[in-house]
Amino acid sequence: MGRLAGKVAIVIGGARGIGAGIVTRFLEEGASVVIGDMDEESAADLMAGLPEFAPVRFVRMDVTSAADNRRIAETAEGAFGRLDILCQNAGIYPWTMIEDVSEEEWDHVLAVNLKSAFLSLRACLPAMKRQGSGRMIFTASITGPRVSSPGHSHYAASKAGLVGLIRSACIELAPYGITVNGLEPGNVLTDAITRSRSPEFIAGMERSVPLGRLGTPADVANACLYLASDDASYITGTTIVIDGGQIVCESKP
Ligand SMILES: NC(=O)c1ccc[n+]([C@@H]2O[C@H](COP(=O)([O-])OP(=O)(O)OC[C@H]3O[C@@H](n4cnc5c(N)ncnc54)[C@H](O)[C@@H]3O)[C@@H](O)[C@H]2O)c1
């Protein structure tokens, strides 16, 4: 029996990168999974690599749309009969210095990274309230809540805001048996990072991590699995840092 046997999960931003790691781990542990993403191609690639009868569905969606968030919640209940876990992992991390950030870019980053959490939470709440239980997990970052770097003003603000939402929501939703937590990954080596950062930059990031390597999607997925599992039933309103010790390192060794 897997640690999520019988559970139904939504993983938004699950088509690739960290989200794909979460989808894979949840399925391995017996969950049924609805993937929400705007990247149909990556979702198709991911699903093609899964076992033939894996209990998985895909909903093409934009996480900034309230209607799309309602649609994925309805799909989970329609396909699998219930909704136990929301994992809102979709996020973007453009790198722009404050002086160059347009209002449009600022609004877009805040919408994809922060408003998305509010919309997905609201969409999943009715089903979890009816059941009297639920797990909500949001992917934040160490960037914002703990540290930052040049070019990440909007990103850091969105992720710090997410932690504020997690704390508020945990109090409001506790009476319904719903826990609300977050993930704070450090630097995780995904295709998006490989594409957007130079090899020299990536090597520099590795040197700043006491454990000597960047994180993997599986590292983050394991923390997400823990928060989604029964082992974490008394944990709410908090975040887990998954960074190989990066934020406690005062200076590079
Ligand atoms: N990779 C890292 O080093 C790192 C570190 C800390 C936090 N994070 C966070 O982890 C999460 C995943 O990052 P990743 O590195 O796997 O990135 P990624 O780009 O590989 O994956 C993000 C996913 O979100 C989807 N997405 C983006 N905008 C969307 C939208 N409007 N609607 C629906 N889906 C949308 C993308 O299509 C993609 O599948 C993000 O929230 C990111 O901020 C990443």
CATH no., domain 8-248: 3.40.50.720
Of the candidate ranges 36-45, 76-85, 160-169, 183-192, the one whose mean pLDDT is the lowest? 183-192
Helix (H/G/I), strand (E/B), else coil: 237: coil
The yes-or-no verdict on residue 253 having pLDDT over 80 is no
Which residue's CA is the nearest one to ligand 1's atom 32?
Answer: 62
CA 191 to ligand 1: nearest atom: 20
The yes-or-no verdict on residue 17 having pLDDT over 70 is yes
- In the chain, pLDDT over 90 holds for what percent of residues? 93
For 104-140, what is each residue's pLDDT tens digit?
999 999 999 999 999 999 999 999 999 999 999 999 9
CA of 181 to the centre of ligand 1 (A): 17
The yes-or-no verdict on residue 149 having pLDDT over 80 is yes
The yes-or-no verdict on residue 244 having pLDDT over 60 is yes
Q: Residues 244, 209: contact at Cβ < 8 Å?
A: yes
188 lines ligand 1 (CB under 6 A): yes
pLDDT of residue 188: 95
Catalytic residues: 155
The yes-or-no verdict on residue 40 having pLDDT over 70 is yes
Mean pLDDT of 175-204: 93
The whole-chain average pLDDT of the chain stands at: 96
Residue entry with tokens 């989808």: 23
Pocket test for ligand 1, best of 11, 39, 69 (most atoms within 8 A of CB): 39
Q: Residues 9, 34: contact at Cβ < 8 Å?
A: yes
HSE, CB side, 13 Å, CA atoms: give it for residue 241: 13
What is the C-alpha to C-alpha distance for residues 184 and 23, in angstroms, rounded to an integer? 18
pLDDT of residue 216: 97
18 lines ligand 1 (CB under 6 A): yes
Pocket test for ligand 1, best of 10, 183, 188, 240 (most atoms within 8 A of CB): 188
- In the chain, pLDDT over 70 holds for what percent of residues? 99
pLDDT of residue 252: 64
The yes-or-no verdict on residue 251 having pLDDT over 80 is no
The yes-or-no verdict on residue 196 having pLDDT over 90 is no
Mean pLDDT of 38-58: 97
More confident residue, 81 or 205: 81
For 57-86, what is each residue's pLDDT tens digit?
999 999 999 999 999 999 999 999 999 999
Q: Residues 56, 35: contact at Cβ < 8 Å?
A: yes
CA of 239 to the centre of ligand 1 (A): 18
